[in-house]
Amino acid sequence: MTNHSSTINPPIAAKKPTELTKHGHNRIDNYFWLNQREDQEVLDYLNAENKYTQEVLAHTEDFQEKLFQEIKGRIQETDQSVPYFHRGYFFYVRYEEGKEYPIYCRKKDNMEAEEEVMLDVNQMAEGQDYYQVQGLSLSENRDILAFGVDTVGRRKYTVHFKNLVTGEILEDKITNTNGQIAWAADNKTLFYVTKDEQTLRDDTIWRHELNRPQSENVKVYVEEDDTFGTYIFRSKSRKYLIIGCYSTLSTEQRILAADNPTGEFTVVTPREHKHEYSISHFEDKFYIVTNWEATNFRLMVTNENAPNKENWQEVIAHREDVMLEQIEIFKNYLVVVERKNGLEHLRIRPWDGSEEHYVDFGESTYSAWVAYNPEFDTEVLRYGFNSLITPRSTFDYNLTTREKTLLKQQEVLGGYDPTAYASERVYITARDGVKVPLSLVYKKGLDKNGENPALLYGYGSYGINVTPDFSSSRLSLLDRGFVFAIAHIRGSETMGRPWYEDGKLLKKLNTFHDFIDCADYLVNEKYTSKDKLFAMGGSAGGMLMGGIMNMRPDLFKGIIAAVPFVDVVTTMLDDSIPLTTGEYDEWGNPNEKVYYDYMLSYSPYDHVEAKDYPNILVTAGLHDSQVQYWEPAKWVAKLRELKTDNNTLLLKTDMSAGHSGKTGRFQRFKEIALEYTFMLDLLGIKE
């Protein structure tokens, strides 16, 4: 690929110096002008980069198509989710062969009843380059369906309503929302959230009466603190409407009886810095998962009429080695999702005080989660499970008999044999002595001779965990000899809340160092070699990619950075950009010099310099609401200007999508096929 790219001239962005000054420190940004989305010169540059990428990869187009068909060929096109029962209906989602979008269905009372199609998104998406539906929610009498639609990728949804009795789409609609609504108990009143037009922060909650114009809606809550966002939902008990307010490190919730929609919301317990809590309602009590005097969270309970923190009583105490992540309440049981040694555990606790137990998953490295369980009065827990070698599975688990029933396992067409693959979890020693988990999967019979290609994936921000999940598309790499690895680096919560705290703010460099140390481990242990090792990350994980290739460009054959957050300092100084103010607790506020200096020490864009870099593929979305397209565009322009190697550097901007790329069930596989081809071609693998 290097030879191909060197014979085609890449686009060169114009240099238009802009001086940026803060704390007496001057930075010159030659590509600041690229932040004008409507400017024709900007669009011309992005299109030129897309054309260049297409030309450089032209010789791989047949291979890309082969990989796409190979990946798509493992998917059961005609498929259906496991139905769940709620309030008189069985609900499920199905897919039809050759169609990109889901069909949302229900059947009354039993699965032998006549099918009722609530939404066929395939019909709705006809003629649209981008079409995303979310937030499906039924009125109290189950006759009116509300749903949000985004046709741009900016995550600004218009809420529509469908009468499921007549099939009519109502004229009533609500614009500029986050796509989620909560119905009151009267079949006509609902609540929704609108966004700040500039920053896209979810900041205002409104009350809407069905078939009334949006101009008549009543503003019920405004989040004035620009470091917070807000949302609204209805409790599992259906008794309460709950407004949630959140920042990176603090939360607050308000409640209102769902049968009193014109009433006033009341605060459960007032927000405090670094206090996070969430409430679940059952019978006459609120159960609260909280980090109040509990770094790894604990469980409290209080009477619903006395929800303030001063009335909370402890149910499950804090533990240093176990993080309490979530609860699910049933009539006779409490299910607790815990994380220990980096893995999820489901703890079953009877309310009557009898012996508790854990669900046995039977594998050493995996991912498990509580699925949708809308009913209280049941002995059955529905949960999900998968691992690096076990496809995504849905189970019903009898909480009393402990009997486990597999309802559905993701079908992998083409004769997938899980016994042909091996997975392992190792703990590498980072440079400061900390043990960092590393999950690996590969074809059995791997020879650790340093000759195997490898892909190391990471994220490491916001406390988000990259779980060891199954991927049928990944088989296209494993079957071609790849080792796939996930670095569970600090900045996630893999090893509990302190793991997150050690990878943020003024400890952010731990995230980069952990990833590099994991990469060194793969090379030193001869899973791979420097000339066959690739790294990949997206969004904040794209920032990780920018950081590690500045620090250790010699360590990687290639880098894939998807929608990368790379211009950290400039973005965090601009409070008009979506998400900026809400993330001061994650990265720091650069208006304070200590954070400005620290961000500057790792900000990928600011550290691009004249030296050799690996081969690089960068993706972006013109309408991205999380990482603005200009960050990857500026980064690539600066790399083109300064890098001293002849390695491939490509930027592919989706001109009709946002942060998550294309919609549709199969379209995303084209992006994966492109990424895989980029790596395989560099290795000389042509088929």
Catalytic residue annotation: 539, 624, 659
What's the DSSP call for residue 362?
A: -
Q: Is 184 helix (H, G, I), strand (E, B) or coil?
A: coil
Structure tokens at 340: 């220990």
Q: Which H or E run contains 640?
A: helix 630-642
What would the DSSP string read from start to end of 29-77?
A: ETTGGGG-TT-HHHHHHHHHHHHHHHHHTGGGHHHHHHHHHHHHTTB-S
User: What residues form DSSP beta bridges with 388?
Assistant: none
Q: What's the CA gap between 329 and 351, in Å, rounded? A: 10
CB burial string 233-266: b at 16+ within 10 A, e below: ebbbeebbbbbbbbbbbbbbbbbbebeebeeebe
What's the DSSP call for residue 643?
A: -
What's the DSSP call for residue 649?
A: E
Q: Is 4 helix (H, G, I), strand (E, B) or coil?
A: helix
Single out the residue of 172, 123, 181, 124 nearest to residue 148, CA to CA: 181
Q: First-to-last CA distance in the chain?
A: 15
User: Are 218 and 207 in contact, with CB atoms under 8 Å apart?
Assistant: yes
What is the spatial order of strands in the sheet that 333-340 belongs to? 323-329, 333-340, 343-350, 357-358
Q: Residue 592 carries which side chain, given as an amino acid letter? A: E
Single out the residue of 541, 416, 530, 424 nearest to residue 476, CA to CA: 416
List own/partner pairs for 668-675 with CB under 8 A and 24 or more apart.
669/68, 669/71, 669/72, 669/473, 670/64, 670/68, 671/619, 672/67, 672/71, 672/473, 673/64, 673/65, 673/67, 673/68, 673/71, 674/57, 674/64, 674/617, 675/536, 675/560, 675/617
How many Cβ atoms are within 10 Å of 318's Cβ, its own excluded? Answer: 18
Single out the residue of 186, 185, 184, 205 nearest to residue 194, CA to CA: 205
User: Are 39 and 80 in contact, with CB atoms under 8 Å apart?
Assistant: no
Q: What's the CA gap between 455 and 533, in Å, rounded? A: 6
Structure tokens at 55: 């030309």
Q: What's the CA gap between 180 and 134, in Å, rounded? A: 7
Single out the residue of 425, 338, 443, 436 nearest to residue 387, CA to CA: 425
Q: Which H or E run contains 536?
A: strand 533-538
- For β-strands 404-409 and 144-150, DSSP reports them as unpaired
Q: Which H or E run contains 419?
A: none
Q: What's the CA gap between 196 and 240, in Å, rounded? A: 26
Q: What's the CA gap between 133 and 117, in Å, rounded? A: 15
Single out the residue of 181, 161, 182 nearest to residue 172, CA to CA: 161
